[in-house]
Amino acid sequence: MTPRTLRHAVTGYAFLLPGIAGFALFTFLPILFSFIISFFDWNLFSSAVFVDTANYRTIFTSGGSEFWRYTANSLRFLVIVPFQMIVALAAAYLLNENPRGSVIFKVIFFLPVVLSVVPVAIIWGYIFDTEHGMMNGLLSLLGAGKIAWLYDPRWITWGISLMAVWQGSAFGTIIYFAALQGIPDQLYEVAALDGAGGWRRFRSITLPLLMPTHLFLGVTGVIGALQLFAPIQVITHGNAGGAHTLIIELYSKAYQEFQMGQAASLSWILFVIIFLVSAAYWRFFGRRTGYA
């Protein structure tokens, strides 16, 4: 290596150093610490005691039935992913047709992305209010009875999922819109000359060419759905009930019971679940995109 090349390499790494240091200090080391502490009994106020795999055994044995219930509640929120993608694709497809007022619609539709999740969750909490909420008001106009969206275990998942679809589909719309802009118009023109109608063009050209976008939004959607926390915590005021998921239980163990070892164990179990579900999704759609 010549002195000039060495000098350039040192300069380059010097610019990278703040980013590498930040990643190591605020990402890698906390991840490593959480893995180590998952094998200890530690309540933040006393010395940590090594307990081997006792935290994991406790989760799967003494609290096993509760663990599987929380896991099932977490997996139910995966229903958010396909609905987000369908709404986002439909909105992006309409925007791609460049209707009148599309610029204003893009700004309005993107607002949920830039809004903080806490005020959004508070507003939706009022919308789902059993007695005076807008949702039950609309149901009353249709002749239906009131639904306890935030208290009935049968409906709480759907209520929170509806809010998550409304807020999350905006990001997907932007991604889908960018992908649609990248599809050459010549493909549609040739298909139209061959007599293909609008639905046939959408099914044979648009959907296959959007497969990488489906893959990206699907994987990120799965990760987001299994980590859904703020809307559940804010809307249910900490009493999640039927929406008590693994991440809510993790929060409870860490910041209410101060059982940091069990909380760290839950975080790694949740990581494994997210990894397996994401890998399955990647495997299924990756074959159709050439990535797997």
- What is the CATH number for 238? 1.10.3720.10
In this structure, the answer to whether residues 105 and 246 fall within a common structural domain is yes
Find the domain containing 12 and state its range.
3-57
Last residue of a domain, one of 22, 37, 57: 57
In this structure, the answer to whether residues 9 and 148 fall within a common structural domain is no
In a domain, residue 34? The reply is: yes
How many structural domains comprise the chain? 2
Last residue of a domain, one of 57, 84, 101: 57
In this structure, the answer to whether residues 137 and 265 fall within a common structural domain is yes
What's the confidence (pLDDT) of residue 63?
57
Per-position pLDDT tens, the chain of length 292: 678 788 888 888 889 999 999 999 999 999 999 999 999 999 888 888 999 899 998 888 865 578 888 999 999 999 999 999 999 999 888 888 776 666 777 777 777 777 888 888 888 888 888 888 888 888 888 877 788 888 877 888 888 899 899 888 888 988 998 899 888 888 888 888 888 787 888 888 888 888 889 989 999 999 999 999 988 888 887 677 778 899 999 999 998 889 999 999 999 999 999 999 988 888 877 666 655 5
In this structure, the answer to whether residues 133 and 156 fall within a common structural domain is yes
In a domain, residue 153? The reply is: yes
In a domain, residue 84? The reply is: yes
Measured CA to CA, the distance from residue 191 to residue 204 in angstroms comes to: 9
| pLDDT, tens digit, 9 for 90 and up, residues 180-232 | 988 888 888 888 888 878 788 888 888 888 888 998 999 999 999 999 998 88
In this structure, the answer to whether residues 46 and 131 fall within a common structural domain is no
In a domain, residue 39? The reply is: yes
In a domain, residue 62? The reply is: no
What's the confidence (pLDDT) of residue 131?
82
In this structure, the answer to whether residues 72 and 150 fall within a common structural domain is yes
User: Taking the model in full, what pTM does it have?
Assistant: 0.84
In this structure, the answer to whether residues 135 and 280 fall within a common structural domain is yes
In this structure, the answer to whether residues 46 and 75 fall within a common structural domain is no
Number of neighbouring beta carbons within 10 Å of residue 290:
8
In this structure, the answer to whether residues 39 and 74 fall within a common structural domain is no
In this structure, the answer to whether residues 78 and 110 fall within a common structural domain is yes
In this structure, the answer to whether residues 109 and 136 fall within a common structural domain is yes
In this structure, the answer to whether residues 274 and 154 fall within a common structural domain is yes
